[in-house]
């Protein structure tokens, strides 16, 4: 007997065929449901292992001892007292996912998803991507010796991510359209059996992303933060992190659950609107726009799960402006030494809003997930930095320029 099954999030039926990407009965999304009775883990065992995705192998839906891995996860959970003070919360930790092998949390999903692709005998893996999914998949496909096909919204992918996808040897197709259009096409190719799909409709990928929650709990000595704040695009990550906390509680490793907060950009906020209006599903936005390209998504496929996570946990969702995002990005860099890409900084900008609104209280502990590395998008940063004029290598001139008198 396996320690997991695939469960439909719409009709609740379960299946044991790992090649499924939708419920064969109702077309709903599938999620990995762990059989908690079949899993034996305890805190002591987990603590003895080096932190990372595969430290939690009993909770991952694969059977191989030989995963496609580059040491993903094990990212820092950094205390940020200066920002905590400024934002008005008791404690703030940043879970900095930019420290993953290709620079975003997508690697947690891909190590599991590509391992499953190999298990299933796939030859071509594919994704639509705002950038980081393609960078990650291209790297893991290269490592596994698979062909990688990538569809990107033309002209809307940050330079670093594009460089990664191209350089790892993916077949890259820019699409005249946005992410949602590209995803619709690649889902079609997957249904025709031409490619194995690794977008966040893939339940195995999202299982890997649950390890963000597992790691946060272990890093906090199995204490659970009051609130977890996550940037939301396609809404897979916030759903996965919530499920991760549910897993740990079901296994008796933690007692409490955090409230989950989603943050979107003003120009791409279908989840926020659904939360504000108390709806169970979203109204897609055909024309999303934001400087935070990683969350420039108008029709998040995991919306139903994310809305459930936010509601069941007692959380909320907020939108932030591009200006707030860029200011938060700079603040994190200059006050705490953490350089993240714009989408990631949305979590910090969102926290400010949530504290102001009284959603998060001054005596509470907060974890903000920063999803990707700042070097992914150097262009946006250089737009706001002035490149200084060169001077001669003369100590006096240089002292003057540095303001050292
Ligand atoms: C993918 C990504 C997101 C959005 O995650 P979803 O699971 O699509 O909600 C946010 N930030 C960064 C940097 C990403 O790469
Ligand atoms: Zn179903």
Q: What is the mean pLDDT of the chain?
A: 97
Query: What pLDDT, on the 0 to 100 scale, is given for residue 64?
Result: 87
pLDDT of 1 > 70? The answer is no
φ, ψ dihedrals at 370, nearest 5° = -100, 120
- Closest residue (by CA) to atom 15 of ligand 1? 132
Residues 321-371 have pLDDT tens digits of 999 999 999 999 999 999 999 999 999 999 999 999 999 999 999 999 999
Closest ligand relative to 29 C-alpha? 2
Closest ligand relative to 299 C-alpha? 1
341 CA closest ligand 1 atom index: 13
Residues 115-157 have pLDDT tens digits of 999 999 999 999 999 999 999 999 999 999 999 999 999 999 9
Closest ligand relative to 157 C-alpha? 1
Angle between helices 132-144 and 159-167 (to 10 degrees): 20
Say yes or no: CB of residue 208 within 6 Å of ligand 1. Answer: no
- In the CATH scheme, what architecture does the domain 77-102+205-384 have? 3-Layer(aba) Sandwich (3.40)
Residues 6-25 have pLDDT tens digits of 999 999 999 999 999 999 99
Question: Across 156-219, where does the E strand assignment appear?
Answer: 171-175, 196-197
Say yes or no: CB of residue 265 within 6 Å of ligand 1. Answer: no
pLDDT bracket for residue 303 (50, 70, 90) = very high
Residue with tokens 């996570």, as numbered in its chain: 309
Say yes or no: CB of residue 233 within 6 Å of ligand 1. Answer: yes
| Strand 316-320, strand 196-197: pairing | unpaired
Distances (CA, A) of 131 to 38, 76, 341: 37, 23, 12
CA of 184 to the centre of ligand 2 (A): 20
CA of 201 to the centre of ligand 2 (A): 14
Angle between helices 303-313 and 236-250 (to 10 degrees): 50
Angle at the Cα of 102 (from 100 to 108), degrees rounded to 5? Answer: 50
105 CA closest ligand 1 atom index: 15
In angstroms, rounded to a whole number, what is the distance separating the alpha carbons of residues 93 and 23? 38
Say yes or no: CB of residue 240 within 6 Å of ligand 1. Answer: no
- The H or E element spanning position 126 is strand 124-128
SS3 category, 7: strand
pLDDT bracket for residue 212 (50, 70, 90) = very high
CA of 237 to the centre of ligand 1 (A): 7
Q: Where are the domains of the chain?
A: 1-38, 77-102+205-384
Residues 284-298 have pLDDT tens digits of 999 999 999 999 999
pTM assigned to the model: 0.97
pLDDT bracket for residue 99 (50, 70, 90) = very high
Query: What pLDDT, on the 0 to 100 scale, is given for residue 385?
Result: 87
The per-residue DSSP string of 259-322 comes to: EEEEEEETTB-HHHHHHHTT-SS----SS---S-GGG--SS-TTHHHHHHHHHHHT-EEEEE-H
State the CB neighbour count (10 A cutoff) for residue 268. 26
CA of 51 to the centre of ligand 2 (A): 35
pLDDT bracket for residue 90 (50, 70, 90) = very high
Residue with tokens 């065992």, as numbered in its chain: 45
Query: What pLDDT, on the 0 to 100 scale, is given for residue 180?
Result: 93
Angle between helices 342-356 and 322-336 (to 10 degrees): 100
CA of 95 to the centre of ligand 1 (A): 14
SS3 category, 86: helix
CA of 213 to the centre of ligand 1 (A): 16
Pocket test for ligand 1, best of 228, 295, 374 (most atoms within 8 A of CB): 295
Angle at the Cα of 135 (from 230 to 6), degrees rounded to 5? Answer: 60
């Amino acid at each position: 007997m396996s320690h997991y099954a695939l469960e439909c999030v719409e009709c609740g039926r379960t299946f044991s065929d790992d090649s499924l990407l939708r419920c064969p009965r109702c077309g709903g999304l599938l999620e990995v449901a762990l059989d908690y009775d079949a899993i034996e883990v305890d805190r002591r065992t987990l603590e003895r292992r080096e932190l990372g995705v595969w430290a939690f192998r009993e909770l991952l839906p694969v059977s191989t001892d030989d995963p496609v891995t580059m040491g993903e996860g094990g990212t820092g959970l950094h205390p940020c007292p200066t920002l905590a003070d400024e934002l008005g919360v008791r404690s703030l930790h940043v879970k900095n996912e930019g420290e993953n092998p290709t620079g975003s949390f997508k690697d947690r999903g891909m190590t599991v998803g590509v391992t499953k692709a190999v298990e299933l005998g796939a030859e071509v893996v594919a994704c639509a991507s705002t950038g980081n999914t393609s960078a990650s998949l291209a790297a893991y496909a290269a490592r596994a010796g698979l062909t990688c096909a990538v569809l990107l919204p033309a002209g809307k992918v940050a330079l670093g991510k594009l460089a990664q996808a191209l350089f790892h040897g993916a077949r890259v197709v820019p699409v005249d359209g946005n992410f949602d259009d590209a995803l619709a096409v690649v889902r079609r190719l997957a249904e025709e059996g031409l490619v194995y799909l690794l977008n966040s409709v893939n339940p195995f990928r999202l299982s890997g992303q649950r390890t963000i929650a597992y790691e946060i709990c272990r890093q906090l000595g199995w204490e659970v933060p009051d609130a977890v704040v996550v940037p939301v695009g396609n809404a897979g990550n916030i759903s996965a992190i919530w499920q991760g906390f549910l897993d740990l509680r079901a296994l008796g490793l933690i007692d409490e659950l955090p409230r989950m907060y989603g943050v979107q950009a003003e120009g791409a906020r279908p989840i926020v609107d659904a939360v504000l209006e108390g709806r169970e599903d979203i109204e897609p936005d055909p024309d999303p726009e934001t400087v935070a390209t990683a969350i420039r998504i108008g029709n998040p496929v995991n919306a139903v799960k994310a809305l459930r996570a936010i509601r069941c946990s007692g959380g909320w969702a907020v939108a932030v402006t591009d200006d707030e995002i860029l200011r938060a990005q700079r603040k994190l860099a200059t006050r705490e030494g953490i350089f993240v890409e714009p989408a990631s900084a949305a979590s910090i900008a969102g926290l400010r809003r949530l504290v102001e609104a009284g959603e998060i209280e001054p005596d509470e502990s907060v974890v903000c997930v920063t999803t990707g590395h700042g070097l992914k998008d150097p262009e946006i940063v250089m737009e706001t930095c002035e490149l200084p004029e060169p001077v001669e290598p003369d100590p006096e001139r240089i002292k003057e320029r540095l303001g050292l008198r």
